Amino acid sequence: MLLAYLPFMLYPYGFFRSGVAALWSAVFLWGTLFFFWFTRRLFPGRLLKQAFLLWLVVWGQAAWSLTGLSPFWILSVYFMTPVSFLEAEVKPGHVRVFSKDVPRYFFERAMTGIGFVFFVLAMVFVREIGEKSSRLKIFCQPAGLLFVVAGIALLWKSNFFLKFSNTKQIP
């Protein structure tokens, strides 16, 4: 997720446009996984990865030509794509969502896309506060957001939210 966010740091957009770009990336990710999940057996093994890269590049060109969106987002999609999904032998396990059996693979990819959109929006919000409201010069360059990401990663690794909720439960 953090690697996928790094190319999005390069977009100078505000809250709404960044959200639209992130949503497009998530939708494109789902479309890519859907397309290749059902067609991967049609490609010879050696050409499958090249086909995937060509797919990214062609859609990058299309998005640039039609909307003017710089193609940094294809790098985000590349990082969000699971490593093994191009292998024909991969078969999804199942997970129960609202009492229904959903293939785990698709559930996780759906969560990846949604989580990515919210993460991008949160970071844009932080940047807007840092740059415009607080006028911190460090947010005029990547260092500001990198420090924020470092803080988020630290909280995640130290299970801060788990410890916090456990502390609240102790009477």
Partner 1 sequence: MYPTIIALSFIMALRGTRPAALQRPIEGLRRVWRDAIDLFLTLSLILVLAAGAAALNSTRVTGVEYEFLGFSAAAYLLSRYQKKTDIFFLVATLIAFTIHGKKSDLLSGLSLAWAVSVCSGFFQTGLLGLRYRLLFSGVPASMRGWPMLCLLAGFLSVVLWSVAKLVF
CA angle 75, 77, 78 (to 5 degrees): 60
Shortest Cβ 91–partner 1 spacing (Å): 25
Structure tokens that stand for 115 in this block: 């989580």
* Among candidate residues 37, 43, 116, 124, the one with its CA nearest the CA of residue 79: 116
**Which listed range, 30-38, 66-74, 95-103, 126-134, lies at the site for partner 1 (CB under 8 A)?**
66-74
Q: Among 15, 16, 34, 64, which residue interacts with partner 1 (rule: CB under 8 A)?
A: 64
CA distances (Å), origin 106, targets 5, 22, 40, 87: 21, 19, 16, 15
Q: Is 158 in the site for partner 1 (CB under 8 A)?
A: yes
**Which listed range, 6-14, 15-23, 35-43, 119-127, lies at the site for partner 1 (CB under 8 A)?**
6-14
Distance CA 26, CA 62 (A): 16
Q: Is 84 in the site for partner 1 (CB under 8 A)?
A: no
Find the binding residues for partner 1 in span 117-146 (CB under 8 A): 138, 141-144, 146
Distance CA 132, CA 134 (A): 6
Residues that bind partner 1 (CB under 8 A): 2-3, 6-7, 9-10, 49, 53, 56-58, 60-61, 64-65, 70-72, 74-75, 78, 138, 141-144, 146-147, 149-151, 153-154, 157-158
